């Protein structure tokens, strides 16, 4: 009985200290943010039903392929990466998978006003325009045209892409992951000029930031880092989970091994503890 009381005191002080230096301290240092919003509710809704074949025409006429490639449709990027980076600061992404990995409302909004949809309007304005110009329409109903472009991009997108491919399409414009050998092909000096600083390598982000942080951060970087130059890229929930899964693969690829071995080691230790207890009871029965 007395030993249990003592154990209670030890546990109390240990747990109290733990809660203080971890649970409480981190809640002060990293205040909770609103959960990720995959509806992108701050953007205007566009309820027009898009038509893919009209969208293809709009897409070609609107000048998209002046900068963007569409490899899956046999349209290569008009410039090589180095030239594109030199002229735009960043390489315009290939849009082959855009219809799958980006949210449709977001796509419509980002075509119309990139800086606003990407939450970069604190950085890009009339005197410093975003490298991707706003879309003012081809003369018809602009919302219909946007819906058509989105419908077109969705119609050509594959049904499924690998985690790595989502990462390449959504993140590798700026970020490298050297632990898997995916190096962003931009000149760091140009990158620093465009972004304000060299975007960090994401190899260990699963451990340095954690999956929870990444989930709200990728969905809306401004939530954690107000004023950051990192754009909101408008990934769907499924695509974002793939990105986080890829970052986890890069920085914590032994996770499954760790967890399955953990169960075995704990099982072993519990049996060993029971044996130790039985032996102790036997031995001490002789002296008590």
Partner 1 sequence: MAQIKKANGIGDWFDQRLATKKLAKVMMTEYWIPKDINFLWAMGVVLVVMFKLLIISGIFLLMYYKPDAKLAFDSVNFTIMQEVEYGWLWRHIHAVAASFAFLVIYIHMFTAIYYGSYKNGREMIWISGMILFILFSTTAFTGYVLPWGQMSFWAAQVITNLFGGIPVVGDAVVTWIRGDFAVSDSTLTRFFMLHVFLLPLMIVFVIVIHFYSLRIPHVNNQEGADIDFDAEADKYLAGNKKESKVVPFWPVFLAKDFYVVCVTLVIFFFCVFFFYDFSLPGVNFEPANPMVTPKYIYPEWYFLWSYEVLRGFFFDIGPIKAMDIGLIAFAFANVIFVILPFLDRDPRVLPAHKRPRFKIWFWVLMFTMVILTIYGKLPPKGINNVIGFIASMTFITLFLIMPYITKKDAKGAK
Partner 2 sequence: MAEKKSRRDFLGMAFGGFAAVGGIMSLGAMKASWDPLPSVQAAGFITVDLSPMKDGELQTIGWRGKPIFILKKTAEMKKNDNRDVVVGNEEYAVMIGLCTHLGCIPSWKPAKKIFHCACHGGDFDPSGTVLFGPPPRPLDIPPFSIDGTKLVLGEEGPEYKRLAAKAQG
Query: Which positions lie near partner 2, rule CB under 8 A?
Result: 268, 271-272, 275-276, 278-279, 282-283, 286
SS3 70: strand
Contacts to partner 1 from residues 243-272, by CB under 8 A: 251-254, 257-259, 261-262, 265-266, 269-270, 272
Task: List CB contacts of 36: < 8 A, sequence separation 6 or more.
Answer: 215, 216, 219, 220, 237, 240
Contact assessment for residue 96 and residue 73, using Cβ atoms and an 8 Å cutoff: yes
- Quote the DSSP letter at residue 123: T
* Max CA separation in the chain (angstroms): 97
Contacts to partner 1 from residues 180-239, by CB under 8 A: 200, 203-204, 207-210
User: To the nearest whole angstrom, how small is the minimum distance from the Cβ of residue 201 to partner 2?
Assistant: 19
Find the binder of partner 1 among 122, 160, 193, 280 (CB under 8 A).
280
Per rule CB under 8 A, count of chain residues that contact partner 1: 49
Alpha helix positions (H), 42-136: 52-61, 81-88, 98-101, 104-112, 114-117
Nearer to partner 2, 25 or 271 (CB): 271
Options 37-45, 52-60, 87-95, 277-285: segment touching partner 1 (CB under 8 A): 277-285
Q: Which two tokens stand for residue 155?
A: 């119609």
Nearer to partner 1, 238 or 269 (CB): 269
User: To the nearest whole angstrom, how small is the minimum distance from the Cβ of residue 252 to partner 1?
Assistant: 8
From the list partner 2, partner 1, none, pick the one residue 194 interacts with, judged by a Cβ distance below 5 to 8 Å according to partner type. none
Q: How far apart are CA 177 and CA 246, in angstroms?
A: 10
């Amino acid at each position: 009985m007395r030993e249990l009381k003592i154990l209670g005191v030890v546990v109390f002080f240990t747990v109290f200290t733990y809660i203080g230096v971890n649970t409480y301290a981190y809640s002060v240092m990293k205040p909770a943010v609103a959960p990720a919003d995959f509806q992108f509710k701050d953007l205007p809704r566009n309820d027009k039903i898009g038509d893919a074949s009209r969208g293809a025409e709009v897409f070609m006429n609107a000048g998209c392929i002046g900068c963007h490639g569409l490899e899956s449709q046999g349209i290569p990027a008009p410039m090589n990466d180095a030239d594109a980076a030199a002229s735009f600061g960043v390489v315009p992404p290939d849009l082959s998978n855009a219809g799958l990995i980006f949210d449709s409302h977001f796509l419509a909004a980002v075509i119309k006003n990139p800086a606003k949809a990407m939450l970069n309007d604190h950085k890009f304005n009339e005197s410093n325009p975003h490298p991707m110009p706003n879309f003012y329409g081809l003369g018809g109903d602009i919302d219909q045209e946007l819906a058509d472009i989105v419908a077109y991009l969705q119609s050509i997108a594959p049904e499924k892409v690998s985690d790595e491919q989502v990462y390449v399409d959504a993140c590798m414009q700026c970020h490298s992951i050297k632990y898997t050998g995916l190096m962003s092909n931009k000149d760091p000096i140009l990158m620093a000029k465009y972004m304000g600083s060299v975007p960090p390598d994401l190899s260990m982000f699963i451990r340095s930031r954690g999956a929870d942080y990444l989930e709200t951060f990728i969905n809306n970087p401004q939530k954690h880092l107000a004023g950051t130059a990192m754009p909101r890229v408008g990934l769907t929930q499924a695509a974002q989970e793939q990105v986080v899964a890829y970052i986890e693969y890069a920085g914590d690829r032994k996770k499954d091994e760790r967890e399955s071995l953990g169960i075995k080691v704990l099982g072993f230790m519990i049996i060993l503890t029971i044996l130790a207890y039985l032996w102790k009871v036997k031995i001490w029965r002789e002296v008590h």
